[in-house]
Amino acid sequence: MAEQIKSLKTGIKYKDTPIGKIPVDWEIKKLIDTAKDEPYSFTGGPLGSNLKESSYTDSGVRIIQLQNIGDGEFLDRYKIYTSEEKADDLKSCNIYPGDIIIAKMADPVARACLIPHVDNRYLMASDGIRLSVNENLYDKRYILYSINSKYFRENAEKHSTGTTRLRIGLTELKNLPLAFPPLKEQRSIAEILTAIDKEIEKTNQIIEKAKEAKKGLMQKLLTRGIGHKRFKKTEIGGIPVEWTVGIISDYGDIITGNTPPTAVQQYYGNEYPFVSPFDLGDKKYILKAEKSLSKNGFLLSRAIPPNSVLVVCIGSTIGKTGIAETELATNQQINSIICKKANFNFVYYYLTFISRMLKKLASTQAVPILNKRNFSEVQVAIPPIREQKVISNILSSINEEIEKEMDYKQQLDSIKKGLMQVLLTGKIRVKI
């Protein structure tokens, strides 16, 4: 890949354009200019009144929804269909394998992906826009990357409406500018970015397989233990006879966080990480927090020492779990377990394992809550401390491999983002 890229030399001339400076041999074209000279090559989905839920079927022509349009990738998680007859009635809203589909609505607005080569045709929902590229003049992969680029995205947002969720219309979108080098250079740029995408996809597959393996291992280790031959029935299911059933508070002390008034600035500083549910991500340890507290703010709640297990107990992410790497404070949505009577790694994995059950125990009010008392009394398995350590070591080994791959993916994402900014604007040229 690297040998395909060469730095700009002095003497290269630029020109000013609506998207900034680009090489003089590049052109600016409107998005509509890249479409085929055929009916419905650049068109939107049907009005909502023309495609209602009553039109959905169990099979037939698949409807591409807003949820299927990822930022450069097709998301295959949602599947609904309509009849062949309905798709024929809405022929102008049909979309085909290899076409680009663009989202009218955030998040983010104007994100785009390619339609997969699975079915012969699809039907767009109302918030999709079809672009069938004239491939005699333009490389559709180059166009796809350009639509998802920083400069195009920012321009699309400027031409969008809405406050809580941005929306862009067909007319506004078709007039947005794109920068184009000669066709051969378009293809070379697309090949470089596609190579990175393939490596990202390969890494994603490794991560998903490892997660599935971890899930199966957790199911086995956290219910059957290691080397046990005798089991007993309990309130939480079958467990080894050597294990006991306790409650979460048996693991250690439980502290509920607190949130200082946002208007009182004296509470905020850079001395102590102040953790909210937003800071509990895919990684096991909480390395940093978006906000921090001063000493005054920190003293509003009891200090949470390193290796405490943090569990979200309010809101849509109830059951989300992490481990404090350093001393910190949390907001009121988090209960922290200071593990005095159990291995903190084991507690982390076990509470991750039962996270769905924790959600079910929450109140059903507008904002679900699993209060401290109910959380403390949730029944859990308690193996001997030595076995807890062995189990946590096994799970940590596979967890470390997953996080290693996640770090690599993050590096690839950063590389791709950086290359898109320079390659799609001509700041760095490629060999042709």
pLDDT at 383: 97
Q: Which pLDDT does position 8 carry in this prediction?
A: 41
d(CA 415, CA 36): 32
Of all residues in the chain, what percent carry a pLDDT higher than 90? 79
Q: What is the mean pLDDT of residues 395-405?
A: 95
Contacts of residue 212, Cβ cutoff 8 Å, sequence gap at least 6: none
| pLDDT higher than 60, residue 221 | yes
Strands ordered across the beta sheet of 291-293 = 291-293, 268-275, 329-330
What's the confidence (pLDDT) of residue 286?
85
Q: d(Cα 54, Cα 15) in Å, to the nearest integer? A: 53
- Do residues 167 and 109 lie in contact, with contact meaning Cβ atoms separated by under 8 Å? yes
pLDDT above 50: residue 7: no
Residue of higher predicted confidence among 120 and 163: 120
Tell me if 288 sits within 8 A of 272, measured CB to CB: no
pLDDT tens track for 263-312: 666 778 888 889 999 999 888 998 778 888 887 777 776 789 999 999 99
Q: pLDDT class for 432, splitting at 50, 70, 90?
A: confident
pLDDT in tens, 227-243: 999 999 999 999 999 99
Q: What is the pLDDT of residues 126-177, one digit of tens each?
A: 999 999 999 999 999 999 999 999 999 999 999 999 888 899 999 999 999 9
Token pair of 272 as six digits? 């102590």
* Model pLDDT, residue 364: 82
What whole-number percentage of the chain has pLDDT above 70? Answer: 96
> Which of these, 225, 146, 226, 203, lies nearest to 179 by C-alpha position?
146
Q: What confidence score (pLDDT) does residue 9 get?
A: 41
Residue 65 has pLDDT above 90, yes or no: yes
Give the type of residue at 190. Answer: A
Name all domains of the chain by residue range, CATH numbers in brackets. 1-26+181-227+384-432 (1.10.287.1120), 29-180 (3.90.220.20), 244-382 (3.90.220.20)
Q: Can you give the pLDDT at residue 168?
A: 95
User: Could you give phi then psi for residue 211, rounded to 5 degrees?
Assistant: -65, -40
Residue that the structure tokens 């193996």 belong to: 383
Token pair for residue 54? Answer: 């009553």
Question: 22 in the Ramachandran plot: left (φ > 0), alpha (ψ -120 to 50) or beta?
Answer: beta
Q: Do β-strands 61-64 and 122-124 pair in parallel, antiparallel, or remain unpaired? A: parallel
Which tens digit of pLDDT belongs to each residue from 366-386?
A: 889 999 999 999 999 999 999
pLDDT at 77 (0 to 100): 82
Residue with tokens 């989300």: 320
pLDDT for the residue numbered 164? 83
pLDDT of 48 strictly over 90: no
Per-chain mean pLDDT for the chain = 92
Distance CA 191, CA 185 (A): 10
Q: Spell out a b/e string for 306-318, using b for 16 or more CB atoms within 10 Å of the CB, else e.
A: ebbbbbbbbeebb
pLDDT at 11: 52
Burial (Cβ within 10 Å: 0-12, 13-18, ≥19) of residue 5: middle
pLDDT above 80 (res 401): yes
Instruction: Supply the pLDDT for residue 295.
Output: 79
pLDDT (average), residues 400-417 = 96
Q: Could you tell me the end-to-end alpha-carbon distance of the chain, in angstroms, rounded to an integer? A: 13
CA distances from 232 to 216, 227, 236, 381, 393 (A): 21, 15, 10, 12, 25
